[in-house]
Amino acid sequence: MHGTPLPPHAAHPATRRSRPADPSLKRLRARRLPWVALLWTCMVLGLAAAPVARAQQAPSFAAGGLTVCTNPTLPPMTFVNGTDGSDLAGVDIDVSRRLGAYWHVPVTFVSMDFVGLFPSLEAGRCGMVISGVVRQAAREVKFDAVPYQPTSLVVVARAGTAHVTSMADLSGKVLAVESGTSYAARIAQENVALAAAGRPAIEIQQYPTEDQVVQQVLIGRAFAFVSQDVELAFRQTQLNGKVSVIFQPDYPEYRNFAIYIRKDARDRAALEGAIAALRDGGQMTPILQRWRIMPGGGDMQAGDQKAVSGFNWRTFAAALVSPAFARGAAITLAMAVLSHMTAIGLAVPMAMVMNGRDGMLKSAIRAYVALFRAAPTLLQLLFVWNALPQFLPVFRESWFTPFLAAWISLSINEAAYQVEINRAALQAIDPGQALAGDALGMTRMQVYRHIIFPQALRIALPPTINEFISLIKTTSLASVISLQELLAVTQINVARTFEFTEYYAAALIYYLLIVFFFLWVQKRIERRFAWADRLKATSHAAA
């Protein structure tokens, strides 16, 4: 029937209405209608939702969560807004949180020294770097940069210093800059022009953090320092007008702050789209107003603090009882104890091999000791934290924390020194005593346990404890890989308030208490394991 042509009258509408409908066609239409309606609805919803989904789709570096590397010593861009090192604030922190909300992912911040930001980004420890970093072509060779805030470079000196008209006017003067930034390289270009003109170069002094850079100008060690205009505005309020701009060079490469990510065209497009959406949606303006980068803002919180003349005993006392300082001291102590115990465990068997016969193992240990004693401890820390993940991706995982990286690095480094201490102590024991033990039928382990080790312990104890005390102070280097130990906490609070003396004094008290305690322990242990007093022994013999 489906192949038989319909009669002519069936094509007329009136005829179709007058004839009863075919039940099979009615059932077919009834079956198709829900599916057609559903398909049409999905198409409409899909087309409507597609732009939103594309706009809010998280880039690959934020999949599962956005990890941000920052150096919280650059207010108002990024800083610690209190004594708790985890209470981050500033323009960059607010922008990061808005990006996380836009992509519907949690945001995690990793604090570290400025010099560790880009190595950590390259190693995959964070998805992006946002820390008051200017956009520069040299950095874009290896990373993508997305601008989010205009800025300009300024030269700053103490208030009352006469203005200069060019960078050449700084010839022969000392200029302080933060290490790891591009300021030193830019000033070096000015020095090339000065040398061509036969004029003295600008003397460059580099310091780890910007607060230390500013301090050099305040105490008169440096004539001026280089910063960005938005940061300088914060510093002027923070220091109660003790510094002022003396020159604003027009460097094109210092006109924008940028967010840096690893090279990826899609990720860059996603980040650019997110920044544009935040700006067009009016979400950037309240952030800039909050930190007074734009007019109409509220209180700047930490920036409203006035400089206090003299020693602020209240700040000093608050730092001494601060949970952040206590936690930093505990991390310092735990790191030193664990690293030294691990180093001793590694060094004792290596020292025994060093005192044995020549061989491949002895040569390998000798090379290890020479290598790790020659390489700077800071370089070893940076290698373990930033370079090791490049060779072994497993070290990029979240289990490889800054504490664990510092523990590994300091333990290996300290073991190289401890090997030499233990080797010298073992060599100081008369070989005849080992022969006597052999003659008594002792095994090699019994000779070491009952004869050699007890005597070597007395010899190795003083230099071992001295090395441990030195290690306590060496742990401060771990701040470069974002370990929040005592000195890192101190620097964060100094950057927040610029109360140098008070926070440095509080940190000094903590270090003194730790060191003096272990000096007391050293005296007690030495007295316990000391050799018999020769003077007493002589007096008893004479009696």
Listed residue (117, 148, 145, 132) closest to 264, CA to CA: 145
Look at residue 16 and tell me whether its pLDDT is greater than 70.
no
Report if residue 1 sits inside a domain: no
Angle, helix 265-280 to helix 23-56, in steps of 10 degrees: 90
Report if residue 143 sits inside a domain: yes
Torsion angles phi and psi, residue 148, rounded to 5: -140, -10
If asked whether residues 341 and 378 sit together in one domain, one would say yes
If asked whether residues 383 and 394 sit together in one domain, one would say yes
If asked whether residues 485 and 432 sit together in one domain, one would say yes
If asked whether residues 481 and 515 sit together in one domain, one would say yes
The CA distance from 354 to 276, in Å, is: 64
- What was the pLDDT predicted at 446? 79
The CA distance from 322 to 211, in Å, is: 21
- pTM for this predicted structure: 0.69
Torsion angles phi and psi, residue 359, rounded to 5: 180, 180
Report if residue 323 sits inside a domain: yes
If asked whether residues 327 and 445 sit together in one domain, one would say yes
Report if residue 430 sits inside a domain: yes
pLDDT digits (tens, 9 = 90+) for 128-137: 999 989 998 8
Residue 342 pLDDT class (50, 70, 90 cuts):
very high
Q: Say if CB 501 and CB 311 are below 8 A apart.
A: yes
Residue 341 pLDDT class (50, 70, 90 cuts):
very high
Report if residue 312 sits inside a domain: no
If asked whether residues 99 and 180 sit together in one domain, one would say no
Q: Say if CB 254 and CB 134 are below 8 A apart.
A: yes
- What was the pLDDT predicted at 523? 84
Distance in angstroms between the alpha carbons of the first and the last residue of the chain: 139
If asked whether residues 180 and 282 sit together in one domain, one would say no
Residue 157 pLDDT class (50, 70, 90 cuts):
very high
Q: What is the CATH number of the domain that holds 431?
A: 1.10.3720.10
If asked whether residues 366 and 284 sit together in one domain, one would say no
If asked whether residues 30 and 158 sit together in one domain, one would say no
Beta-bridge mates of residue 177? 206
The CA distance from 297 to 288, in Å, is: 8
The CA distance from 313 to 348, in Å, is: 47
Q: Say if CB 213 and CB 207 are below 8 A apart.
A: yes
Domain total for the chain? 4
Instruction: Kindly give the pairing relationship between strand 73-74 and strand 78-80.
Output: antiparallel
Q: Taking residues 338-364, what's their average pLDDT? A: 89
Look at residue 538 and tell me whether its pLDDT is greater than 70.
no
Domain encompassing residue 48: 8-54
What single-letter DSSP state applies at residue 134?
A: B
